[in-house]
Amino acid sequence: MLRLRDRALPVFSHQVPAELHIVIDVSDWYVMQVECPELVKVLTSWAEEFGLTFQQKPADWALLFAVATLDLWERSPKALQSLRWGRLAGLQEEFPAAEFGFNSLGGEPEGEIFDIRVEFNWNWADGESERDFRQRQHDLVRTATEQRIAMVKQEIDEKGWTRAPLPGCEYLEALAMRKAHKSFTSIYAQMRSRSIHVGSEGDVSGLAHGIERVARSIQIDAPTAVRRNLK
C-alpha cells in the first residue's frame, strides 16, 4: 500500500477530475482509461509488480479497489494515515451488505433484506372485535411470511448466493505468501501449523493445486512456480 500511496496518489490528486473519483464498476474504469492515462499506467505497473493479474493482464477488481482506495485517501486524512483500503461504491449492490448504510441488490438497506413488515391496525372504531383483529393479523403475518420466503428463495436462486465457504479459501494465505515469494517449504510449514493437510512435504503438488484453485476462484493468476508444480 505504500507503493500505491507514494506513486499513484499524487497522480490521482492532480490529474483525475472530481467527477471520476467515484468508481462503481468496471465500465467507469474504462472511462478513466481514456480520461486519465497517466493514472492507468501507474496502477497497471503497481498491479503487475504485486502479481495482481488475471490472464496476464491487471485484474479489473484490483484496479477498481485501488481507485476506490485513492478516492478514500483523498477525502480522508485519517484513512490515509492508517492506509485503510477503500470500498467500491458498487459493493452496495452485493449481498449480504457488510456495513451500515449499504444496500442489497434489491435496494433494501442492510439487515432488512429478510425483514417482514406487517401493519397492525385494529379497526376498533369500525366495529372490529378483538378476536377478529387477532385472527386478521395472524392471517396477514402468515401470508407475508410465505410471500417473503418465496421472494428470498427466488432472489437466492437468481443471484447464485450460497452460505458455503469459498472453495479452497483455506489456501488464500498460501496464495498471498507465494505471491510474496515465500518458499513452498515455509508455506507448507505454515499450513501444517494450522492443521491443514496439504500432502507430504516432499510433494508440493497438493499445495500447488490448492493455490491454483483459490487463485482461479478470485480471478487472479497463480504464481508461475505454482503451475510448474501441478501434477
Query: Tens of pLDDT along 170-203?
Result: 677 888 888 878 888 888 888 888 777 766 667 7
Number of structural domains in the chain:
3
Q: Are 73 and 85 in contact (CB under 8 A)?
A: no
Residue 62 has pLDDT above 50, yes or no: yes
110 and 86 belong to one structural domain? no
Q: Last residue of a domain, which of 71, 92, 113? A: 92
101 and 147 belong to one structural domain? yes
Query: Tens of pLDDT along 90-112?
Result: 544 443 433 344 444 444 444 44
Answer whether 0.75 is exceeded by the pTM.
Answer: no
**Cα 158 to chain centroid, rounded:** 19
14 and 75 belong to one structural domain? yes
Portion of the chain with pLDDT greater than 90, in percent: 6
Residue 69 has pLDDT above 50, yes or no: yes
Q: What number of H helices and E strands is found in the chain?
A: 11, 2
104 and 127 belong to one structural domain? yes
**Buried b / exposed e across 201-225, counting CB within 10 Å, b at 16+?**
eeebebbbbbbbbbbeeeebbbbee
173 and 159 belong to one structural domain? no
102 and 155 belong to one structural domain? yes
77 and 136 belong to one structural domain? no
Quick one: cell of 118? 406487517
Q: Last residue of a domain, which of 92, 119, 138? A: 92
Query: Taking the CA of residue 99 as centre, how many other CA atoms within 13 Å lie in the half-sphere pointing to its CB?
Result: 6
Q: Last residue of a domain, which of 115, 147, 163? A: 163
88 and 113 belong to one structural domain? no
Give the H/E segment covering residue 191. Answer: helix 184-193
State the Cα–Cα distance between residues 150 and 129, nearest whole angstrom.
32
pLDDT of residue 6: 92
109 and 88 belong to one structural domain? no
Q: Residue type for 32, please? A: M
Range of the domain at 129: 94-163
25 and 102 belong to one structural domain? no
13 and 87 belong to one structural domain? yes
- Cα angle for residues 91, 29, 17 (degrees, 5° grid): 105
Could you tell me which residues come within 8 angstroms of residue 54 by beta carbon, excluding any fewer than 6 positions away? 60, 219, 220, 221
10 and 42 belong to one structural domain? yes
